[in-house]
Amino acid sequence: MSDCIFCKIRDKIIKADIVYEDEFVIAFKDINPQAPFHVLFIPKKHISSFNEIEVRDAFILENIFLAIKKTVFKFNIAESGYRIVGNCNKSAGQEVFHLHFHVMAGRKFLWPAG
């Protein structure tokens, strides 16, 4: 997707503070952090939202969750805890239509989420 901001981050056309990268996944700090630790994990493949995930993408999701696990241990937030958020479409407030998981830590989170 040529006009997708996260594809441009993946292709290093737009600069981001990348904290993790492998063949299938890239993770970078959110530009407008909502917690002391706020990192976005995206598949390198452009998938617009959770609604567009296909069976053949299952291994990508596996890789994202393994990437999250590696990263939370690396940044020492595995034990204290973190929140994983995925927004889909209007009601959830999705702004960027390239699938992503927010991983946030470093403060207390409310439940139910706002």
Q: Which residues bind ligand AMP (CB under 6 A)?
A: 5, 14, 16, 28, 30-32, 40, 87, 93-96
Site for Zn ion in 51-90 (CB under 5 A): none
Per-residue DSSP letter, 19:
E
Q: Which residue of the set 38, 46, 98, 100 is catalytic? A: 100
Exposed e or buried b per residue across 49-61, where buried means at least 16 C-beta atoms within 10 angstroms of its C-beta: beeeeeeeeeebb
Choose between 55 and 113: whose C-beta lies nearer to ligand AMP: 113
* Secondary structure class of 92 (helix, strand, coil): helix
Active site residue 100: yes
Q: Which of ligand AMP, Zn ion, none does residue 30 bind to, with CB < 5 to 8 Å depending on kind?
A: ligand AMP
Q: How far is the CB of 38 from ligand AMP (least distance, A)?
A: 7
CA angle 31, 34, 36 (to 5 degrees): 90
Catalytic positions, please? 100
